[in-house]
Chain A
Amino acid sequence: MDGPGKTRGRKNRLERNDRLVRLALLVVAFSAISVLLVITVFIVGQGTPIMFRYGLKSFLAGSSWYPSEKLFGLWPMIVGSLFVTAGALVIGIPFGLSCAVVLTEFSSSRVRRIIKPIIELLAGIPSVVYGFMGVVILVPFIRNTLGGPGLSVLAASIILGIMILPTIISISVDSLQAVPPSYREGSIALGATRWQTVKMVLFPAARSGIIASIILGMGRAIGETMATIMIAGNAAEVPRSLLAPVRTLTSNVALEMGYASGEHREALFATGVVLFVIIMALNTIANVTSARRRRQP
């Protein structure tokens, strides 16, 4: 028999447990942000001293990268990353947005059930496999038809453009689907065609989500490493054409990390800092744009 006192004791114990659990969960919940902080501290702590020792300007704007002669100019890699990313967007945006529009507006649910998993599969393929496909198919093709070494800005742009498709498609699809059905119905009722509805109603309404998808795609392209190493050619100089080889910030780190030591290793961490700053800026922009979307009715 449970007396009233005993029941109260049990209830108190349960409530105390509940408070403990709540506290424990709060600590766990801070794991992600703590990891982010620790990463920031380590990367910045390892990478910034050398940047200031050699001067920020010569580091960021210097155009020669010869670690053995203590020349640490990151300019070619910064330009390289930007070129390759811009190229990836030129490929990724039209294909990605087309897929998103087709999936949400121009296909029956049966077709959607086939196409959607296929596109999700694109996201799962390891980046080394994309890089490999670039090496065995795209690079020889470019070399034979357009000339040059094949390992180039163009090759990297095409492969990265494919790799960012899942990001662009999935976030754009989400934001297009989040547009209230009444917008669509209203437009169709006014006699607009499907495409006019997409162009004049859905795109403006889903704009911030679509922009966020593009920014996140950009982040993926800038951050991609293995595929770029395999197909971009990795020459540490500013590329003069689309067919010239290029080295990105990520490749710079990955190529030399294996054997670097001393100042050379510090310079690679400094490369990481530059990359990190770019990525965090993009993340914050994407975060702000999609937060604005959430606040919209």
Chain B
Amino acid sequence: MKRLGPRVEEKAVRIGLWTLTLITVSVLLFIIVFIMRRGLPVLSLEFLTANPTDMGKSGGIFSTIAGTGALTVLAILIAAPLGIGTAIYLTEYTWGGPVTRIIRFGAECLAGIPSIIFGLFGFILFVTKLKFGWSILSGGLTLAFMLLPTIIRTSEEAIKSVPPAYRNVSFSLGSTKWQTVTRVVLPSALPGIVTGIVLSVGRSIGETAATIFTAGSALRMPTSIFSSTRTMSVHFYILAREGISMSKAYGTAAILIIAILAINVLTYYLMHRFIRRYS
């Protein structure tokens, strides 16, 4: 086979790579347009504010929105302090060494564990052993464990990007380490940390496998953290899989996509503010 000249090869490769890239981009746009075209017409104020009736065949999705919200808030309340604390320790209090390596290895492994394993674990520990039952509490704890690595990583990056000069100035004024962390480092790293939390909210909204086995799939309005609840993703899954109502399924999917879009726009905006500040 005759070898192509480098210039011809360059042209061919460019066309090839761009084709694959454009296909990727168009797949994503297709998914969004497809869901929106069928889902948006279903949306109405009533769909958002009414509770589902008749297994979800009619009514709205209010109780699933409330359930998703409660689960997410609980998970973030648990994961954020742990994650941010870990990040502070890793960036401000240690410099390499075996302890850091172990902590980081733990976080990275946790990040790779599939959600179904979290679901199994949450089911056996929280639902059966600790007898929380299928509840917001079980689901929230399980989700918190899942979100922990994301929050650690993003907070760590945010704290690392605060210029060392800030710390030096604070120390030279006689502040202690903790004063420096709480009054100088954390406020400067806040947008980056918030970005991580917002990303975690996105993950917990989209999560299905871990929540279906820990929070259950009850359709009624949750009344306490011990009530079982159904998240929007689980509701969408059940509607679509059991063929209960395609139109309600599209409506729920549209809400999910809108939530994810909003979260991405928000993180993008926060990141840019953050990056602008330090470059």
Contact = CB atoms under 8 A, between A and B. Distances in A.
A210 B179 CA distance: 41
Contacts of B264: 117, 120-121, 124
Contact of B148 (A18, A35, A195): A35
A43 B117 contact: yes
B41 interface: no
B105 A287 contact: yes
A126 B14 contact: no
Given A32-B106, A43-B121, A129-B253, A225 B20 contact: no
Given A125-B257, A129-B31, A250-B114, A30 B103 contact: yes
A171 to B, nearest CB: 12
Interface in A209-226: 216, 219-220, 222-226
Contact of B116 (A34, A130, A225, A230): A225
A102 B21 contact: yes
A132 B206 contact: no
A39 B113 contact: yes
B266 to A, nearest CB: 11
A95 B261 contact: no
A203 to B, nearest CB: 13
B145 A35 contact: yes
B165 interface: no
Which among B31, B32, B112, B149 has the greatest number of chain A C-beta atoms within 10 A? B112
Nearest to B182: A21
B45 interface: no
A267 interface: no
A127 B113 CA distance: 15
Contacts of B132: none
B101 to A, nearest CB: 9
B89 A219 contact: no
B85 interface: yes
Contacts of A42: 121, 124-125
B112 A283 contact: yes
Interface string B3-22: 00011011001101110110
B56 to A, nearest CB: 14
Interface string B226-237: 000000010011
Main secondary structure of the interface of B (DSSP, over half): helix
B202 interface: yes
Contacts of B20: 94-95, 98-99
Contact of A29 (B29, B89, B108, B260): B89
B219 to A, nearest CB: 16
Given A193-B7, A280-B109, A257 B28 contact: no
Interface stretch (A53-61, A67-75, A141-149, A269-277): A269-277
A33 B103 contact: yes
Given A98-B21, A135-B240, A126 B205 contact: yes
A79 interface: no
A238 interface: no
A36 B110 contact: yes
Interface string B115-153: 111111101110000000000000000000100110010
A33 B82 contact: no
A201 interface: no
A32 B103 contact: yes
Contact of A115 (B6, B25, B213): B25
Nearest to A169: B24
Interface in B42-75: none
Given A35-B145, A43-B120, A22 B85 contact: no
Contacts of B263: 124
Interface in A38-56: 38-39, 42-43, 46
B21 A224 contact: no
Contact of A230 (B7, B88, B115, B241): B241
Contacts of A126: 205-208, 233, 236, 256, 260
A225 to B, nearest CB: 4
B85 A25 contact: yes
12 contacts: A31-B148, A32-B148, A35-B145, A94-B20, A95-B23, A98-B24, A117-B268, A121-B32, A132-B249, A196-B6, A230-B240, A279-B113
Given A29-B85, A126-B236, A127-B209, 9 more contacts: A17-B178, A32-B152, A36-B110, A99-B24, A115-B25, A126-B208, A225-B114, A257-B120, A275-B114
Interface of A: 14-15, 17-18, 21-22, 24-26, 28-36, 38-39, 42-43, 46, 94-95, 98-99, 101-103, 106, 115, 117-122, 124-133, 135, 137, 162, 165, 192-196, 216, 219-220, 222-226, 229-230, 250, 253-254, 257-258, 268-269, 272, 275-276, 279-280, 282-284, 286-287
